[in-house]
Chain A
């Protein structure tokens, strides 16, 4: 495989375990721990296999402790795998980290790479020299970052005086100044307000379009995924639970739809009972019946016209809409019911 050909990321049977000292609770536990060398092996990632093509935008999600950050650290070369093989742009990250750094941008949402005590502008200029960014490219990446992320008022401020949102915007800009071929974003919108999140996502997409950057984003904010990514990897306890497009994910896991209706009059208990019975007959549920609002939830297998007709016959309706289950609800349910869902979930390479 060369730097120019092949997938951007190629991961085969990747695993990582940590060695942890055994500790027990309480003061006596602390004292015992001080004199004890007992350790245990804690597996964080258990045999991941996937590949990401150049220019793909991929989201990596999973509950806390699912192994997202460990995977990202191995992909960036700061952790050495316990087992398995991985290459990023044809290089082995933990062996060729410094060379890879030139083609890689990394944002750790909670770990700023900016120099703490000097103005933002100075860090940008340091990175320009460090990465040897040509003026022609720097003018664009710096100019675009300043314009799109509203950095102008922040450039002269020491980083320690910036708010979290301001620092995140600067950090994102810093990571993309050298127009890297692969960008890893670890919770890039953590702690940001809604408008800044939008700005950040738009900027990421813009840089992707300009440079055909390969993106891998780990996040707990699923809007980052739906608005930026085209493919999703779901991790559960260190294993890959799902690997596929967002559309596939929805098709596979959005097992029900919702019919939301606004009624002409407040619904009576009799009407609600009738509607509930009819919904059950069609394979659905009446989940909300309050005042003028009614919500019916029914499986994908149920016929929409039949459910709609049942509703219209049961109560006078002013307006109604059909909603798919959004990704946030699917993921929340997935996390809650991992054990139940695990055997049949998604396709795995």
Chain B
């Protein structure tokens, strides 16, 4: 091998041992978010297929409800003018909140790629949040198409109950996203033990589908299920934010809902963090 001429020595990026400032760390997460959104556009056919499948499945549920209401309003059910906007909003929120963390992290754990994530100067949970936010940005864009399309048909029925209801909903949606992220991140920890996302994803998906109010408002559920749901975070992801939008939770009740959401979000995220720190200490990166 030929010996190259000695190159000019250069200054380093920064002094050895120096840390990043908070602003620098935040800009790192933002950069990751932007690149992740960019990556989400990579699979056009997959995006179209999963979106169409989502819309198709939701349409079936709406058609079933339509048929039920044709026979007359079920006892205890909300009026049709509230139910169908509820179902559309629930679909849109659910679609926007769909994050791929379980699949993404499982792949990286199985292939040992998690090692490269842990060697970044950013926090792993923070990077997962940035990537989940990118999922949200991408999916919310698609969900908004459904919302706008439905608004064209349903008009004012899909409008927020009032400007304050819209404001409560906006905050509730942000907190709902954080709860969803917290739940998913918590379940992701299980993948470090199971080394496979399937069981974890199915379990979390079943709980979410049942208790988030995706297919029907929780007020229509049997009392026993409502009781169980009250102790779980899922209703704060979809059910409660939609009620805020529709003006069914106002004043003190709305504030209380936001408070409960904030507590759930903080609790879940901090618990996930606490568990993750312990898991990393006993981590075994797969492969040599």
Physical interaction between A and B: yes
Q: For the complex, give the distance between the alpha carbons of A133 and B24 in Å.
A: 11
Q: Which residues of A contact B288 (CB under 8 A)?
A: 64-65, 68-69
Q: How far is the CB of B135 from chain A (nearest CB, A)?
A: 13
Q: CB-CB < 8 A to B220: which residues of A?
A: none
* Residue B71 at the chain A interface, CB threshold 8 Å: no
Chain A residue contacts of B8, Cβ below 8 A? 210
Contacts of B16 in A (CB 8 A): 3-4, 89, 103, 181
In the complex, which residues 71-86 of chain A have their Cβ closer than 8 Å to any Cβ of chain B?
73, 76-80
Task: Say yes or no: A123 contacts B11, CB within 8 Å.
Answer: no
CA–CA, A4 and B16, complex, Å:
7
Bound: A116/B285 CA distance, A: 20
A77 cross-chain contacts in B, Cβ below 8 A: 118-119
Beta-carbon contact of B12 and A211 below 8 Å: yes
Report Cα–Cα, A144/B235, bound state, in Å.
Answer: 54
| Cβ of A233 to closest chain B Cβ, rounded Å | 17
Does A179 lie within 8 Å of B283, measured CB to CB? no
Residues A102 and B119 in contact, CB atoms below 8 Å apart? no
- B14 near A132 with CB under 8 A, answer yes
Contact A103 B17 (CB under 8 A): yes
The answer on a CB contact under 8 Å between A80 and B9 is no
Known A69-B288, A118-B38, A129-B28: A3·B9 in contact at CB below 8 Å:
no
Contacting chain A: which of B108-116, B174-182, B260-268?
B108-116
Q: Which residue of A lies closest to B107 (CB)?
A: A116
B97 to chain A, nearest CB (A): 22
Given contacts A110-B287, A118-B42, A122-B35, contact A137 B111 (CB under 8 A): no
Closest-CB distance, A218 to chain B (whole angstroms): 10
Instruction: List which A297-329 residues lie within 8 A (CB) of chain B.
Output: none
Complex interface: stretch among A91-99, A264-272, A276-284: A91-99
| Interface stretch of the complex, out of B58-66, B73-81, B120-128, B156-164 | B120-128
Cβ of A101 and Cβ of B13 under 8 Å apart? no
Residue of B nearest to A80 (CB): B281
Interface contact A202-B116, CB-CB below 8 Å: no
Interchain CA distance A111-B24 in the complex, whole Å? 26
- Our pick among A68, A202, A211 for the contact of B9 (Cβ within 8 Å) is A211
Q: Compute how far the CA of A212 lies from the CA of B288 in the bound complex, rounded to whole angstroms.
A: 28
Count of CB-CB pairs between chains A and B under 8 Å: 144
A245-302 CB contacts (< 8 Å) to partner B: none
CA gap between A179 and B11 in the complex, in Å: 9
Q: How far is the CB of B104 from chain A (nearest CB, A)?
A: 10
**Residue ID in chain B nearest A133 by CB atoms:** B13
Answer yes or no: B1 CB below 8 A from chain A CBs: yes
Interface residues on B, range: 35 or more
**What are the interface flags for B1-39 relative to A under an 8 Å C-beta threshold, 1 for contact and 0 otherwise?**
100101111111111111110001001101110011011
The minimal Cβ–Cβ distance linking B176 to chain A, given in whole angstroms, is 28
A134–B13 contact, CB under 8 A? yes
| Inter-chain contacts of A48 with B (CB < 8 A) | none
Task: Kindly list chain A residues whose C-beta atoms are within 8 Å of the C-beta of B283.
Answer: 78-80
A113 within 8 A of B: yes
User: In the complex, A99 Cα to B25 Cα: how many Å?
Assistant: 11
Which residues on B sit within 8 Å (CB–CB) of A335?
Answer: none
| Interface assignment of B50: CB less than 8 Å from any CB of chain A | no
A209 CB contacts on chain B under 8 angstroms: 6-7, 9
Which residues of chain B have C-beta atoms less than 8 A from A102's C-beta? 13-14, 18-20, 121
Checking B20, B111, B285 against A132 with a beta-carbon cut-off of 8 angstroms, the contacting residue is B20
- Is residue A117 within 8 Å, beta carbon to beta carbon, of the partner chain? yes
A206-B38 in contact given A111-B116, A129-B28 (Cβ < 8 Å): no
Q: Which residues does chain A contribute within 8 Å of B15, judged by CB atoms?
A: 3
- Quick check: is A165 within 8 A (CB to CB) of the other chain? no
Q: How far is the CA of A18 from the CA of B288 in the complex (A)?
A: 13
Q: Which of A65, A68, A131, A205 has the most CB of B within 10 A?
A: A131
- B282 at interface by CB-CB < 8 Å: yes
Query: What is the CA–CA distance of A126 and B36 in the complex, to the nearest angstrom?
Result: 10
Say whether B35 contacts A115, CB under 8 Å.
yes
Please tell me which one of the listed residues A79, A133, A227 contacts residue B285 in the complex, with CB atoms under 8 A apart. A79
**Are B42 and A158 neighbours in the complex by a CB distance under 8 Å?**
yes
In the bound assembly, the distance between CA atoms of A34 and B86 in angstroms comes to: 44
**18 A-B pairs with C-beta separation under 8 A:** A3-B15, A18-B284, A78-B280, A78-B283, A79-B285, A98-B123, A103-B16, A106-B119, A108-B116, A111-B112, A111-B287, A112-B113, A113-B119, A117-B39, A122-B35, A130-B28, A130-B122, A137-B12
Q: Which 10 A-B pairs have CB atoms at the shortest separation, nearest pair first? A: A3-B17, A129-B31, A117-B42, A117-B39, A113-B116, A130-B28, A101-B121, A69-B288, A132-B24, A178-B13
